[in-house]
Chains A and B, each alone.
Chain A
Amino acid sequence: MSIEAPERPVQEHFPTPDEYAGLLSKRTRRAWVVQMFLLLMLTIAVLGLSILLFTIIDDSFGNVATVNQVEPEEGVVLAGLDPATTSFGDLGKDELVTALQAGINRNVGRRLEREQRFYEDRLVFEPQASWDELCASDDPAPGCTSSARDAGNVSLLVQEQVIEPDIIAVSGMVESLLNPAAFEEEVARDFAVNPEKYPDYTFDQVRFQWRAWFSWSFITSPASATPEIAGIRTAVLGSIWLVAVTVLFAVPVGVGAAVYLEEFAKPTRLNDLIQTNINNLAGVPSIIYGMLGLAVLVRALEPITSGSLFGTGAPNGRTVLAAGLTLGLLTLPVVIISSQEALRAVPGSLRQAGMGLGATKWQTVRSQVLPVAIPGILTGTILAVARAIGETAPLILVGAASFITQSPSGPFSQFTALPIQIFQWTSLPQPEWQHLAAAASLTLLLLLLILNGAAVILRNKYSRRIT
């Protein structure tokens, strides 16, 4: 038995079932196209990132074409040894000093010795009498007081002064690995086509070798005007000092402000103003903070930031302290806002429980609320600090020195920093510097990776302890 469905009135303008099916497949097709477009856009973003990382790694390693003034084997000969049995890298300090003595003229040697002596107990280039006189004068040379050079240092000197390598062409990592011959042909062609570019060498003198721009010695060598031996020790130490000052300032102040605003501030006009103001500060471009640092910390507070008020320090306010505080001010709103978020995530029931037991507000906040919020605060703070490490523009403003070889030794030192070094090297025209900039960028990115990893680990560790 079947029941007739009551006939519905035919509706005009509506698609028939067949038409609807066709329409649906058309809609599905269109949806597929759009979805692919969306995915494509996302892929482009990720591709951009990949290419960026690839460029940096590709430029951090690769074959170079070098011309040496003196071949390393000859250096071994200068040291009095047989190049057939000994390679340059095996030379000890004494042999390196011998090679240096043989390879440079006496005046250069004296200058080097005055900068830093070779041995604690004897002199190599300077006669004893004039050395004593020099050290007794009002303005003794740095070598009079500093400790002796180590083997690595002397080795760098021999490379810089005797071997004098000159990189004449560079290539990227991938090309070097996949098709090293192409690079050699290109250099050969360049020698043939533009001989005027190479007046001092012949193609026979060119050596092709693999070079890791990013290497341990790159990280530990001081800055240099010669790209072949330039390193980033000064810059890395400068960045570490900066971060120390930044953290010491921004973390206590930022967390304190967040605790005040979240836990104690009554909704008064003043407190609202502080909150709005912090939100606004978070959007101020970093270069403006640099100008604030320049005008206030470097200039107006020069007696403090240069250390002259304390009887020590730098000739002007362009010091680690001024720059670190500038970065601290810049990081402050970010630290405050992320700490506030962490505090807001702590359930109110904990506060009620604490105060219900007759604890004061502060007791409750200190022993119940803060411990729960710490992982969040820590994560936010580390991310903020990571951002500060990469900041360049404010450091330019507060006058990070572009070229210093002296490592910073305290808050009143002049300094340079890793991003500044990258900026300087990137803006130089010779390709060697670009590769150094790549290697320095790689260092910076690895540093940030470590920090972010630390943030994740700390967060996990803490959150496990609490529950």
Chain B
Amino acid sequence: MTSDTQREAVVAIPTDNGAPADNPVAAEHDDVDRTYEHDVNGVIRTSDMDVFYGDFRAVGNVSLSFAFNEITALIGPSGCGKSTVLRSLNRMNDLIPSARVDGEVFYHGEDIYDPEVDPVEIRRRIGMVFQKPNPFPKSIYDNVAWGVKINGFKGRKEAMDEVVEQALTEAALWDEVKDKLNDSGLSLSGGQQQRLCIARAIAIQPDVVLMDEPCSALDPIATLRIEELMIKLKQHYSIIIVTHNMQQAARVSDKTAFFNVELDATGQRTGYLVEYSPTDELFTRPRVQQTEDYITGRFG
């Protein structure tokens, strides 16, 4: 564990470690029955997070706070650990035997890596959409219904039909598939498959949706549809998206985190957070030279 590269990220957005006792927003809205007291700290917050694959430290010292009902974009060169960070936010890294997370990741103030915490519950609340569309080799209907079913949905067939319809509608796919719900999910086009995966993810009513380059396999039209979809979805969900496409980050996200990768003293390529700012600022007035180089394409 060589954390000798103690770099300071420039963070224009506070990651408040203090107690959110006198949260003014919550106080103002006492009439709202579902208030989030940890509002200031964001829905997910990482604190000095390091992720290792075996002995290899893939990313180090990531402290970030992801806001409610916003889209946060993670950008950076290939291999800088964006997917790694994303996967550690809902414990998908558990599926990689060699992966290990040091530091803390808070979800509503609770450390999700606490041994007391159930990773299955975390993944139910923090859903994920993957880079390559990966529908189940089942019918479109079952693709959406399965996650709902295993999470203990007790409704009857009609209720399930409604859930499926709503999820597909929310994912802007309903009109295209409503006549062929029993067709295999694999029979759809790539863009449709990806929207099916989004429908599947939001059908289980998550809190946060993580998306790892959801548009990288899609054409511009399909990409546009998914971007519109994300903007629509952020009314209800907090979204964290990894993207290679800087226009996309600029178009859809509210905040952007820029990661970079550098050889450390031991010759390992460790990723780190460079800058975290509101998107319009990061793309217009970057505070760090590296960021500017990257977004202007002058990257070395």
A interface residue numbers (CB < 8 A to B): 266-267, 347-360, 363, 367-368, 371-372, 466-467
A358 lies within 8 A of B97 (CB): no
A357 lies within 8 A of B124 (CB): yes
Verify if B92 is at the interface (C-beta below 8 Å from A).
yes
A357 lies within 8 A of B186 (CB): no
Bound Cα distance A425, B134 (Å): 58
| Residue in chain B with minimal CB distance to A267 | B97
Bound Cα distance A456, B135 (Å): 27
CB neighbours (8 Å) of A371 from chain B are: 137
A355-B92, A371-B137 known; 8 new pairs, CB 8 Å cut-off, are: A266-B97, A350-B137, A353-B130, A353-B197, A357-B204, A358-B121, A359-B151, A360-B150
Tell me which of A352, A355, A367, A466 has the highest count of chain B C-beta atoms within 10 A of its own C-beta. Answer: A355
B200 lies within 8 A of A350 (CB): no
A357 lies within 8 A of B137 (CB): no
CB neighbours (8 Å) of B135 from chain A are: 353
CB neighbours (8 Å) of B184 from chain A are: 466-467
CB neighbours (8 Å) of A355 from chain B are: 92, 95, 120, 123
CB neighbours (8 Å) of A352 from chain B are: 92, 95, 128, 130, 134
B136 lies within 8 A of A356 (CB): no
A357 lies within 8 A of B150 (CB): yes
| Residue in chain B with minimal CB distance to A368 | B136
**Proximity string of chain B (92-133) to chain A, C-beta cutoff 8 Å, 1 when within and 0 when not:** 100101000000000000000000000011011101101010
A357 lies within 8 A of B92 (CB): no
Verify if B146 is at the interface (C-beta below 8 Å from A).
yes
B137 lies within 8 A of A356 (CB): no
CB neighbours (8 Å) of A267 from chain B are: 97
Instruction: Report A291 CB to chain B, min CB distance, Å.
Output: 38
Number of B positions contacting A (CB below 8 A): 28
Verify if B75 is at the interface (C-beta below 8 Å from A).
no
CB neighbours (8 Å) of A360 from chain B are: 120, 150
CB neighbours (8 Å) of B95 from chain A are: 348, 351-352, 355
Bound Cα distance A352, B128 (Å): 9
| Residue in chain A with minimal CB distance to B90 | A356
B150 lies within 8 A of A356 (CB): no
| Residue in chain A with minimal CB distance to B144 | A357
**Proximity string of chain B (127-161) to chain A, C-beta cutoff 8 Å, 1 when within and 0 when not:** 11010101111000000001100110000000000
Instruction: Report B193 CB to chain A, min CB distance, Å.
Output: 11
CB neighbours (8 Å) of A354 from chain B are: 136
A358 lies within 8 A of B120 (CB): yes
- Whether A349 contacts B134 in the complex (CB less than 8 A), given A357-B204, A358-B204, comes out as yes
| Residue in chain B with minimal CB distance to A346 | B137
Verify if B67 is at the interface (C-beta below 8 Å from A).
no
**Proximity string of chain B (175-186) to chain A, C-beta cutoff 8 Å, 1 when within and 0 when not:** 000000000101
Verify if B201 is at the interface (C-beta below 8 Å from A).
yes
CB neighbours (8 Å) of B206 from chain A are: 358
Tell me which of A348, A351, A358 has the highest count of chain B C-beta atoms within 10 A of its own C-beta. Answer: A358
A350 lies within 8 A of B136 (CB): yes
B137 lies within 8 A of A358 (CB): no
Bound Cα distance A467, B137 (Å): 6
Bound Cα distance A355, B123 (Å): 7
Bound Cα distance A234, B121 (Å): 58
Q: List 23 A-B contacts (CB under 8 A).
A: A267-B97, A350-B137, A351-B95, A352-B128, A353-B136, A355-B92, A356-B90, A356-B128, A356-B130, A357-B123, A357-B127, A357-B146, A357-B200, A358-B120, A358-B125, A358-B147, A359-B120, A359-B146, A359-B147, A359-B150, A368-B136, A467-B137, A467-B184
- Whether A467 contacts B186 in the complex (CB less than 8 A), given A350-B134, A353-B136, comes out as yes
Instruction: Report A443 CB to chain B, min CB distance, Å.
Output: 40
A358 lies within 8 A of B136 (CB): no
Bound Cα distance A372, B201 (Å): 21
A367 lies within 8 A of B130 (CB): no
